[in-house]
Amino acid sequence: MIFTSPFPSIAQPPAQDLASFIFDHAETRSAFGANPSLPALTDHATMQSFMDVQRMADRFASGLVNSLGLQRGDMIAVLIPNSAYYPAIVLGALMAGLVCATANPAYTIGETTHVLNLSEAKAVIATEQNLPTVLKAIEDSDTYIMRHRILTIDGRENTVHSVLSDKPYTRIRLATAEQARNTPAFLLLSSGTTGLPKGVLLSHANIASNILQMAIMEAHDPHIAAAERLARQQAHMSCLPFFHSYGLVLVLLLSIAKGHHQIVMAKFDLEQFCILAERHKVVAAQLVPPIIIQLAKNPIVDKYDLSNLMYIGSAAAPLSRETQAEARARLGCCIMQAYGLSETSPASHRARIHGTPEGSIGYLAPSMECMIIGDSGERLGTDELGEICMRGPNVMMGYFKNAQATAQTIDKDGFLHTGDIGRVDDNGFYYIVDRKKELIKYKGYQVAPAELEGLLMDHPAVLDAAVIQAYDRAQETEIPKAFVVVRPSFNSVGIADDIKAWVAERVAHYKALRGGVELVDSIPKSASGKILRRVLRDIEARRLQTAKL
């Protein structure tokens, strides 16, 4: 059975390049059209109006062409933290016909080298802080980048601002839907939870389509629509990394297209988040579960007035029903989940502010189709658990320079196989259970780590938790094992056994933490908030290897 979206379809992928689409959408359908001097982004150092963003993007595009000599189709690696200048940099690069490879500025030399080798970047945007790492990575990579093409956003020489130019240049404009579909805009990195990150190649049409899809879903949510009618311009918190698909599309670019004022944080800090939310009367924020957990549990939050918050979006990792309810009760606002992947540009599902069952990721996005398939590839019906597969205008072009991985992920019918296990109910609400590859198989039973993690977060002593599969050699079966961060106010003596027993009382026998509970200082996570279970599995594997010796 193929499931469809309950929302009106987008007519077709926009017949425009992404920069033109973003700016035109903002000018015709947002507050920026009537007043382009309204603030678009405010960070710790500067405020950029919509007009400033447009002007800087145009001048940066000119500089890339006239000063750096870059050509259409060249890759530029963007290795910087969130900044009010970020949209002008990436949109300017697109206007010059470049492809932006965005990546984590905190990457190590080896990780940065991988980005440069994968992208074959001809230029790099960095910071003074990570410049030594970038220079060493360039030296170690297979790519030669001329020194004048290595720019920083905060240095004294060779800066982004030093190449801004008013010289004429040929702005790249895409005039047909086919051009927009077939022209890459961004190279984003997959989460890399199973090895070196792959390059996800997204077209201009992929991202523009996803912005339209989300705009349609928001327009059909009466509470969001009502809120936007009440205020000429809303303040939204932008604290997720812009180098990640979630932060780039659903936070940065969507907010510009819709005319929001973004309060930009270079790096998340709970107290600073609360200060800024109170000061700017922030009404919405797109977050990840680790941040929502802090908002739900940390006493710092009680010091600040966050009453203007109307809704918080959660994505990038599963959010338990318990944490969702706890955060909603404390903050007095709706916590709505969304779902997607870098490969879907990124959003494929989104909940409404009200009327969505807790734990659901909401409805399928407009113009998308979805299948739930079983272990043998058979199509399943409602309330049957299987792998989620999707197709639509927002599904990636493919993995860059990796045709084999692309063919393994996108089938001959154009359906992207997510590797996530979930279901859809009779009302069209979708639910994610866990990653297909991360399900723990205990004596034939399937155990979802995310379910146990959600339960562990309800224990009063638990600050953070992750569950992986350990292995019981005697019984020759996988067993669940938990890694737990205990709150400082609790005595750690004997607490691991207490937590293990507490969980056993609340789950079916096969879900018990037979692998035990190990106390750790922190849970390893990616920049987008996903638990890096492979790191924990590596720790466990090394322990097993040592035990054999």
CATH number at 53 reads: 3.40.50.980
Question: Of 372, 405, 436, which closes a domain?
Answer: 436
**Do 543 and 514 fall within a single domain?**
yes
Q: Are residues 453 and 428 in the same domain?
A: no
- Residue at a domain's end among 131, 157, 173: 173
What pLDDT tens digit does each residue of the chain (549 aa) get? 999 999 999 977 789 999 999 999 999 999 999 999 999 999 999 999 999 999 999 999 999 999 999 999 999 999 999 999 999 999 999 999 999 999 989 888 988 999 999 999 999 999 999 999 999 999 999 999 999 999 999 998 999 999 999 999 999 999 999 999 999 999 998 854 445 689 999 999 999 999 999 999 999 998 887 777 766 789 999 999 999 999 999 999 999 999 999 999 999 999 999 999 999 999 999 998 889 989 999 999 999 999 999 999 998 777 878 888 999 999 999 999 999 999 999 999 999 988 899 889 999 999 999 999 998 899 999 999 999 999 999 999 999 999 999 999 999 999 999 999 899 999 999 998 877 778 787 876 778 888 899 899 999 999 999 999 898 877 777 899 999 999 999 988 999 999 999 999 988 888 899 999 999 999 998 877 888 888 898 888 887 777 665
CATH at residue 272: 3.40.50.12780
Residues 341 and 212 in one domain: yes
DSSP, res 365: P
The answer on 389 and 495 residing in a single domain is no
Pair 517, 471 in one domain: yes
Instruction: Evaluate the CA torsion angle 474, 480, 483, 488 in order and state its sign.
Output: negative
Residue 62 lies in a domain: yes
Decide which of 386, 409, 436 is a domain's last residue.
436
Distance CA 212, CA 24 (A): 13
The C-alpha atoms of residue 478 and residue 472 are separated, in whole angstroms, by 6
Which residue in 170, 49, 139, 200 sits closest to 528, CA to CA? 200
Domain hosting residue 351, numbered range: 204-436
pTM of the model: 0.85
The crossing angle, in degrees rounded to 10, of helices 50-66 and 18-29 is 160
Same structural domain, 254 and 379 = yes
Q: Is 2 within a domain?
A: no
Per-residue confidence (pLDDT) for residue 194, from 0 to 100:
46
Residue 8 in any domain: the answer is no
Q: Report the C-alpha gap between 372 and 144 in whole angstroms.
A: 45
The reply to whether 289 and 245 lie within a common domain is yes
Q: Do both 272 and 394 map to the same domain?
A: yes
Whether residues 379 and 445 share a domain: the answer is no
Structural domain contains residue 198: no
Inside any domain, residue 517:
yes
What are the tokens at 259? 């005319």
Same domain, 485 and 389: no
Asked whether residue 459 is domain-assigned, the answer is yes
CATH of the domain at 524: 3.30.300.30
| Structural domains of the chain, count | 3
The order of strands in the sheet holding 39-42 is 47-49, 39-42, 261-264, 235-238, 284-287, 311-314, 334-340, 347-350, 363-364
* Residue pair 353/334 in contact by the 8 Å Cβ criterion: yes
- Is position 70 within any domain? yes
Q: Are residues 159 and 218 both part of a single domain?
A: no
Do 326 and 235 sit in the same domain of this protein? yes
**341 domain-assigned:** yes
How far apart are the C-alpha atoms of 355 and 373, rounded to whole Å?
27
